[in-house]
Amino acid sequence: MNEITHFINGEHVKGTSGRFADVLNPATGDVQAKVPLASKDELAKAIEIAKEAQIAWGNTNAQRRGRVMMKFVELLHRDMDKLAEALSREHGKTLPDAKGDVVRGLEVAEFSIGAPHFMKGEYSAAASTGIDIYSMRQPLGVVAGITPFNFPAMIPMWKFCPAIAAGNAFILKPSERDPSVPNMLAELMIEAGLPKGVLNVVHGDKEAVDGILDHEDIQAIGFVGSTPIAEYIYSRGSANGKRVQCFGGAKNHMIIMPDADIEQAVDALVGAGYGAAGERCMAISVAVPVGKETADKLVAALKPRVEALRVGPYTEGDNVDFGPLVTGDALKRVTGLVDKGVEEGADLVVDGRGFKHSTNPDGFFIGPCLFDNVTEGMDIYKEEIFGPVLSVMRAETYEDAVGYAMRHEYGNGVAIFTRDGDTARDFTHRINVGMVGVNVPIPVPLAYYTFGGWKRSGFGDLNQHGPDAFRFYTRTKTVTSRWPSGVKEGASFTIPVME
């Protein structure tokens, strides 16, 4: 049995806690590896190493740190196929989707090459008589990331690339469900020239998470996962005086106006609703057609497309549209929510619950499901299903459709499909959701903008990647300077003012 290791101080380190978790093959249900679950003592040793390594790294100029990121990007391109295969093997997503996972992280690494620009401060000469004022951005020290299973390449890179480029040392606690790719990324960072100890991967469960939240040397924490855990991490980390950003659940609506191109909308819904088996925080899970005619056309066009989707393991290559869910527990949860939707009175137009793959009957597969006539009170609408389930929620008017998205507790992403510019402009200005698409189903911003949801989808003042990442992983120091030739004699007992 393959035993995965921690990656600490530039080396693979076996776990010593005696506790392990199974790493499953989602396509077969078999255990393919064991991953160690770190104790707080193991975590503390990694933090101690990171703290020592950060001193020299933080004093390395930002241009040289950016060059490490530049080399890292080159190595990611070199090892793209290797990373994607390892990712698909543990997560279950198709190879093209796995490569997309790596590429969207790679883009943040590219953005982080610009660290010298984002670390710049400001300068005001002669702010007062003989006085200059300037500011500087400085790294926080040791920071940490707690990342989810659904993007085991992208989200770790969203966290550690800007943090490290800003001069911090980083502790990464990835999901124990697909831990191999985070280790591979850390290896590539060392090959790119990162000093040992600056990036450390510590595998674990709640014990490791709590260790990160409570350790006095961890200055900041970034998290992506479910909303209940996001709230827990945000509250406990903040109570311990740490800077914390947490991103939680989602229920992303796509509004289809009567003037929209129905075929374009169907293409968007099929890809955004069922890609990666729906295990994306930016997946479209609710389609909101406006008007009965629009809804009838949409459902009639969706039904055959959804029924024709191909489900199977990534090893079947181009013959597969999406793969299995990540675990048996995930399969039970999604199936249970589909059952509940039927009980609550929604119309199950396409039922994928009985799907069994011909050669992998024990895999965690579920076929695509399509509901119609979903209402606000149903659990399949209120909860994030995180599976290949699309709900059609009919709206009589545009105002009704906007109201659905506005009232939902989650506010991660939303989209509208229309040909009318006035409608699109009104929608983008009014909607209380963090990321908005206009004729774009999954509005994930590019790396030089920031990613983050509103309402109970996001906790903290600053978002992921983009300029906000460098603001989050640095603090500003402001210096007011006057040299002896400009000093007047005598003490002053009044508050200083600029003259």
Question: Catalytic annotation on 161?
Answer: no
Q: What is the pLDDT of residue 489?
A: 66
Q: Cα–Cα distance between 324 and 364 in angstroms, integer?
A: 5
Question: Residue 128 has what pLDDT?
Answer: 86
Closest alpha carbon to 322 in 81, 88, 87 = 88
Could you give the dihedral angle defined by the CA atoms of residues 46, 50, 52 and 58, in that order, rounded to the nearest 10 degrees?
Answer: 180
Compute the distance between CA of residue 292 and CA of residue 145 in angstroms, rounded to an integer: 46
φ, ψ dihedrals at 79, nearest 5°: -100, 20
pLDDT of residue 499: 62
Query: Which pLDDT value is given to residue 490?
Result: 72
Summarised one tens digit per residue, pLDDT across range 265-303 is: 999 999 999 999 999 999 999 999 999 999 999 999 999
* Calpha distance 198→186 (Å, rounded): 10
Q: Which CATH superfamily is domain 2-248+457-479 in?
A: Aldehyde Dehydrogenase; Chain A, domain 1 (3.40.605.10)
Element holding 384 (H helix, E strand) = none
Instruction: Write out pLDDT tens, residues 119-163.
Output: 999 999 988 888 999 999 999 999 999 999 999 999 999 999 999
Cα distances from 482 to residues 128, 130, 367, 476, in angstroms, run: 9, 6, 71, 20
Alpha-carbon dihedral angle through residues 465, 466, 467, 472, given to the nearest 10 degrees? -10
pLDDT computed for residue 130 by the predictor: 85
- Low-confidence stretches of the chain (pLDDT beneath 50): none
Identical fold for domains 2-248+457-479 and 252-438, yes or no, is no
Question: Which CATH code is given to the segment(s) 252-438?
Answer: 3.40.309.10
As a residue count, the chain comes to 499
135 Cβ contact list (under 8 Å, min separation 6)? 121, 122, 123, 476, 477, 478, 479
Q: What's residue 6's pLDDT? A: 98
Q: How many CB atoms lie within 10 A of CB 348?
A: 17
Domain-wise residue ranges, the chain:
2-248+457-479, 252-438
Residue recorded with tokens 């069994």: 356
